[in-house]
Amino acid sequence: MSTFKQIDRRAFIRGVGGVALALPVLDAMGNGVTEEIPRRFCAIYTANGMSLPKSEHDINEWSWFPTAQNNSEFVFSKSTEPLSPFRKQLSFMGGLYHPSGPKSDPHQCSDMWLTGAPLHNSKPGTYNSVGLDQVVALHTKRFCRQPSLVLSIDAGTGFLSRTGTISYSLDGRPIPAENNPRRVFDRLFRVDPASLTSVRNKLQLRIKLVDAVGDSARALQQQLGKSDRERMDEYLTSLNEVESRLIASEQWIDIPLKQQDYSHLNLDVTTEGEPAEYYRNMFDLIALAFDADITRSVAFMLNREDGMGISDTFPLKLGLSHTHHTLSHAGDKEGQLQFAKYDLFLSQQLAHFLSQLAKYQDRNSSLLDNTIVMFGSGASTTHNPRNLPTLIAGGANMGLKHGTYWRNGESRMSNMYLSILQSMGIEQGSFADSTTTLSNSIFG
């Protein structure tokens, strides 16, 4: 601790009976290695559902959900085959849904995917409710530079029922997404000094405020005579914790970024160009951000509902017959096959991301084992809010047991979200409309 004079001064905060409060977070920063291995979360969303062809078309091998078994193991379909190298690190999750889904306008399924909010009957004055990624961010932000990274195919927020972001803040407001790889890179990896200064100023102001409030609180405590001090102690403890978090954030500004190899990035790609090239670079950025522990919570919306935005045209660019939204409505054999081929394209992108995570190493193992990746859609086939296609990958070090196609009748998405939170060590009694965790599942 001797290298941090300022921290020394504050780490042993007066009051609370003079008990020294160590700051484990700061210990970690000095060594560049955290005591606790990072636990990360990444949500990846695709709109309009997946191809689950009608049985009469006899192309079950193109169903996104596995339909066959071999030696009691599920068989990857043709549209998920690129993910087969990760069999032991992923699971398909069947039967999941948001109970609010069937009650709501189906175009809102992306709005509620991470939140589970009752958008059919939202409270007056509210918009949405907090998303899973932001709950994770709330608990991991003190370990890293950025609470979360919110990405989408289209920048901004879109609008309710046609959202352009899947991330919603603690008070349920949409968090604008970024979609430009260069801007993301510049913000995360090439921080400009001016913005650093403004961040530092803001933090320092807040630290001063906390200091002054501490003085005020201690003055009060002395007046309090024989009064029950339990509540005041709670207050002062919270104040100390807030102060240490602020100081940690301030310290980040001076700590150099981890040295990384950026040579594989092509930051000139845009959404107007090759879809695969775009997605590859965005996924590479996420992997780099995880590797440098810049953030531990990422939400990435790959495409949007109902023909919104540029991504609707991607299937055409790939030589498929129709736009994404139109394909998703297909009921005929050829249409459902074409839609499945777009699933195949998405599987290839996801496989690339998983391979990047598998390549980077934490102290104990690959990043993939320390990251829960959730990939899925808010609709199974278009406008069908039950049995949401969901794939969970990674997180072996958080106790996830992979390699299965899990189903247990119908289960609430929120229950799985609660399981994810608990796997990450985030003690929370419930999430949205959860009733319990996902028992007898890959979460143990």
Partner 1 sequence: MKMTYFASNAIHQLRNPSRTIVLIFCSIRLLQPIQAADGPSRDGKSLENAFGQVVKPFLMQNCVRCHDADKLTSGIRVDQLNAEVEDRHIRLWQDIRKQIVDKAMPPEEETQPTEAERQAVAEWIHQALETARSRPLPNNGVTRRLTVAQYRNTLRELLLLEDNMTDLLPPDAVSRDGFVNNQETLLFSPLLLEAYFEVAEESLRRCIVDSTSKPKIQNFRVELGDSINPQPFPDPLILGAGSLLLNNKDVLVKELTPNKPFDFEPFAMRTKHRFIEGYAGNDTVRGWREYDSIYHSVFACMRGTDGYPKGRAYSTVPQGLLLRPAIPSSELFQVESTYGPKANFKVSLRELPEGGLFRVRVMAAKYNDGLLLDRGDTAQSLEQPDAVLCHDLETPQTITIPRSGIYQVDVYPSGTKSTTPSKKPKEKPNDWTLSLGDREFTGALSQPAFLVLRLDAGELSLKARHPGSVSVDKVVLSSLGHDHELAKRFAVFEQRSPKLGVHLGLRRDCGSTLAPVGEPQTVSSDKLTRFVFEGAIRNFPSPDVEKDNINYLAGIREIGVRSEYTDGRDMPRLLIRSVEFEGPFYEQWPPPAHQNIFIESDQKKDSVAYAREILRAFASRAYRRPISVDEETQLMNVFEQSSAEGCNFQDSVTSALLVVLTSPQFLFLIENSESPEPERLNENELASKLSYFLWNGPPDQELMTLAANGNLSDQMQSEVGRMMDDPRFSRFVSEFASQWLALEKFSVLEPDSGRFPKLTRDTRAQLQQEPIQFLEYLIQNNLALTNLIESDFLLANEVIASFYDLADKTESGFEFVPITHNRRDLGGMLTQAAIMAGLSDGRESNPVKRGAWLARRIIAEPPDDPPPNVPTLSEETKGLSLRERIERHRNQPGCVQCHLKIDPWGVPFEEFDAGGRLKQQSVDARSTLPDKSNIAGVNDLKRYLSQDRIDQVAFSFLKHLATYATGRNLAYNELESLKGAGKSLKANGYRMQDMIRFVINSDLFLTK
Complex with partner 1: residue 284 or 306, whichever CB lies closer: 306
Is 333 a binder of partner 1 (CB under 8 A)?
Answer: no
Nearest CB to partner 1, comparing residues 142 and 401? 142
Backbone angles phi, psi at 55, to 5 degrees: -65, -30
Residue closer to partner 1, measured from CB, 53 or 174: 174
| Dihedral pair phi/psi, residue 427, rounded to 5° | -80, 105
- In the complex, minimum distance from the CB of residue 138 to partner 1, in angstroms, rounded to a whole number: 7
126 contributes a contact to partner 1 by CB under 8 A: yes
Near partner 1 in 46-85, by CB under 8 A = none
Interface with partner 1, residue 161, by CB under 8 A: yes
Q: Which one among 17, 18, 124, 319 touches partner 1, defined by CB under 8 A?
A: 124
Residue 167 or 349 with smaller CB distance to partner 1: 167
- Considering the complex, state which of residue 23 and residue 288 has its C-beta at the smaller distance from partner 1: 23
Q: How many Å apart are CA 293 and CA 280, to the nearest integer?
A: 20
Q: How far is CA 29 from CA 48, 287, 389, in A?
A: 42, 20, 39
Amino acid (1-letter code) at residue 249? S
Query: Residue 153, interface with partner 1 (CB under 8 A)?
Result: no
* 374 touches 43 (CB < 8 A): yes
* Interacting residues with partner 1 between 218 and 237 (CB under 8 A): 219-220, 223-232, 234-235, 237
Residues touching partner 1, count (CB under 8 A): 65
Q: Which stretch binds partner 1 (CB under 8 A): 35-43, 117-125, 336-344, 411-419?
A: 117-125
Closest approach, Cβ 232 to partner 1, in A, equals 6
d(CA 377, CA 387): 10
Closer to partner 1 by CB, 138 or 257: give it: 138
Integer Cα distance of 347 and 355 in angstroms: 12
Q: Is 409 in the site for partner 1 (CB under 8 A)?
A: no
Q: Return the structure tokens found at 106.
A: 């189906």
Q: What is the DSSP letter of 372?
A: E
Q: Which of 178, 176, 150, 153 is nearest to 311 (CA)?
A: 153
Distance, in Å, from the CA atom of 48 to the CA atom of 306, rounded to the nearest integer, reads: 7
Residue 14 touches partner 1, criterion: CB under 8 A: no
Cα–Cα distance, 197 to 195 (Å, whole number)? 5
When the beta carbons of 8 and 171 are compared against partner 1, the nearer one is 171
CB 232, CB 217: distance < 8 Å: yes
Nearest Cα to Cα of residue 370 among 395, 392, 403: 395
Q: Which two tokens stand for residue 137?
A: 């961010």
Stretch that binds partner 1, among 84-92, 97-105, 255-263, 388-396 (CB under 8 A): 97-105
Kindly list the residues in this chain that would bind partner 1 in the complex (CB under 8 A): 102-108, 120-122, 124-127, 138, 155-162, 170-174, 176, 205-206, 208-210, 212-213, 215-217, 219-220, 223-232, 234-235, 237-239, 241-242, 245, 306-309, 312, 325
